[in-house]
């Protein structure tokens, strides 16, 4: 429920200028049913994903600069504090200049969930749901579901093992997966539309007695699955965030529903 309500607020508050989506940035992801790393109580983790479109690469500094230029309420000095904490876009040299610490082709980071959502709205799109993101990210270069391959997992864990103190690579440097999508792993964390409804308990050792009401019906998310812990650590990361929060390694990409 929470993300939907917040989304309405964004629409009302931001006074969005319409944007034209660059369709060549999107690829079509065929739908399907797959087993999520999240153990939804009602379906035991089985999730049906409808066909949708997803950006090939995360949104870049250049793309986000274009957005804030056209949508002044989302500029660093003008943004409403409840939508973005003080360090929002703080790696840019000024509200409308990237400067030396933000290369145009690097993924944009230090953006709040509100700002990311507004960007997608402005482009006639939305943030992907967790299920859409997880479904797309289960692929490797040749398979739609490579999650049983230890090499797939090692690649993710290898990135977790590196602190975020080196400059980010430009987007699009990693090999495309079977759908043609890049950088789902190994570059930045990414916001999802419904991140706030899949809360992992801050203290996951209380699995027997978790407050079920905290989970918005999605069910308690267990972290005891060694096959899936690499994915679940991403969920834990998103669960630590408030929607106005930013970090230096959290970006986003947009998705579109198909008619």
Partner 1 sequence: MKLQLFPVLITAALLAVTGCSPAPTTTTAAGPVSEDTGGSAKGDFGPPVGEPINAILTAPPLVPPATGRTQPAKVIVNLEVREVEKEISEGVKYTFWTFGGTVPGSFIRVRQGDTVEFHLNNHPDSKMPHNIDLHAVTGPGGGAASSFTAPGHSSQFTFKALNAGLYVYHCATAPVGMHVANGMYGLILVEPPQGMPKVDREYYVMQGDFYTVGRYREKGVQPFDMQKAIDENATYVLFNGSEGALLGDNALKAKVGETVRLYVGNGGPNLVSSFHVIGEIFDKVYTEGGSRYQENVQTTLVPAGGSVIVEFHAEVPGTGVIVDHSIFRAFNKGALGMIKYEGPDNLAVYSGKEVDSVYLGDKAASAAPVAAAAAATASGTLTLEQQIKAGEALYAGTCSTCHQGNGIGIPNVFPPLAKSDYLNADHNRAISVVLNGLTGPVTVNGANYNSVMPPMSQLNDDEVANIVTYTLNSWGNKGGRVTTADVAKVRASTPRPKGAAH
Nearest to 224, CA basis, from 200, 190, 241? 200
Applying the rule CB under 8 A, the residues between 94 and 153 that interact with partner 1 are none
Under the criterion CB under 8 A, does residue 181 sit at the interface with partner 1?
A: no
Of 2-10, 28-36, 99-107, 246-254, the segment contacting partner 1 by CB under 8 A is 246-254
User: To the nearest whole angstrom, how small is the minimum distance from the Cβ of residue 11 to partner 1?
Assistant: 26
Please count the CA atoms within 13 angstroms of the CA of 137 that sit on its side-chain side.
Answer: 29
Tell me the C-alpha distance between 176 and 223, whole Å.
29
User: To the nearest whole angstrom, how small is the minimum distance from the Cβ of residue 152 to partner 1?
Assistant: 14
Tell me the C-alpha distance between 82 and 242, whole Å.
10
Residue count, binding to partner 1 (CB under 8 A): 33
Among 157, 173, 180, 257, binds partner 1 (CB under 8 A): 157
User: To the nearest whole angstrom, how small is the minimum distance from the Cβ of residue 149 to partner 1?
Assistant: 15
User: To the nearest whole angstrom, how small is the minimum distance from the Cβ of residue 142 to partner 1?
Assistant: 24
Tell me the C-alpha distance between 206 and 199, whole Å.
14
The conformational region for residue 216 under phi > 0 = left, psi -120 to 50 = alpha, else beta, is left
- Residues 252, 57 contacting (CB under 8 angstroms): no
List, in order, residues 6 or more apart from 226 with CB less than 8 Å away: none
Tell me the C-alpha distance between 84 and 104, whole Å.
21
Contact letters (x/-) for partner 1, 62-101, by CB under 8 A?
A: -------------------------x--------------
Under the criterion CB under 8 A, does residue 50 sit at the interface with partner 1?
A: no
Under the criterion CB under 8 A, does residue 245 sit at the interface with partner 1?
A: yes
Tell me the C-alpha distance between 242 and 74, whole Å.
18
User: To the nearest whole angstrom, how small is the minimum distance from the Cβ of residue 21 to partner 1?
Assistant: 30
Among 23, 81, 165, 208, binds partner 1 (CB under 8 A): 165
Angle between helices 130-137 and 229-239 (to 10 degrees): 150
Closer CB to partner 1, 178 or 236, in the complex? 236
Closer CB to partner 1, 36 or 71, in the complex? 36
Under the criterion CB under 8 A, does residue 30 sit at the interface with partner 1?
A: no
User: To the nearest whole angstrom, how small is the minimum distance from the Cβ of residue 248 to partner 1?
Assistant: 5
Tell me the C-alpha distance between 61 and 107, whole Å.
6
Given the rule CB under 8 A, which residues bind partner 1? 87, 154, 157-165, 200-206, 223, 226, 229, 232-233, 236-237, 239-241, 245-249
């Amino acid at each position: 429920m929470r993300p939907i309500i917040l989304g309405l607020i964004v629409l009302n508050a931001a006074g969005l200028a319409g944007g034209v989506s660059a369709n060549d940035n999107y690829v079509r992801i065929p739908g399907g049913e797959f087993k999520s790393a999240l153990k939804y109580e009602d379906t035991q983790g089985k999730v049906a994903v409808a066909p949708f479109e997803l950006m090939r690469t995360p949104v870049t500094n250049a793309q986000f600069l274009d957005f804030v230029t056209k949508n002044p309420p989302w500029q660093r000095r003008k943004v409403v504090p409840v939508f973005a904490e003080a360090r929002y876009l703080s790696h840019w040299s000024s509200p409308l200049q990237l400067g030396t610490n933000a290369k145009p082709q690097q993924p944009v980071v230090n953006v709040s969930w509100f700002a990311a959502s507004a960007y997608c709205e402005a482009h006639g799109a939305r943030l992907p749901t967790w299920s859409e993101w997880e479904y797309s990210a289960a692929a490797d270069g040749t398979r739609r579901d490579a999650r049983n391959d230890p090499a797939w997992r090692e690649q993710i864990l290898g990135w977790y093992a590196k602190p975020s103190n080196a400059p980010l690579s430009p987007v699009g440097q990693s090999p495309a997966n079977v759908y043609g999508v890049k950088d789902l792993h190994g570059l930045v964390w990414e916001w999802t539309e419904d991140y706030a409804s899949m809360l992992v308990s801050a203290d996951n050792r209380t699995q027997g007695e978790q407050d079920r009401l905290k989970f918005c019906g999605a069910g308690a998310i267990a972290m005891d699955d060694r096959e899936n812990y690499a994915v679940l650590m991403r969920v834990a990361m998103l669960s630590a965030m408030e929607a106005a929060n930013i970090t230096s390694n959290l970006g986003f990409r947009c998705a579109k529903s198909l008619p």
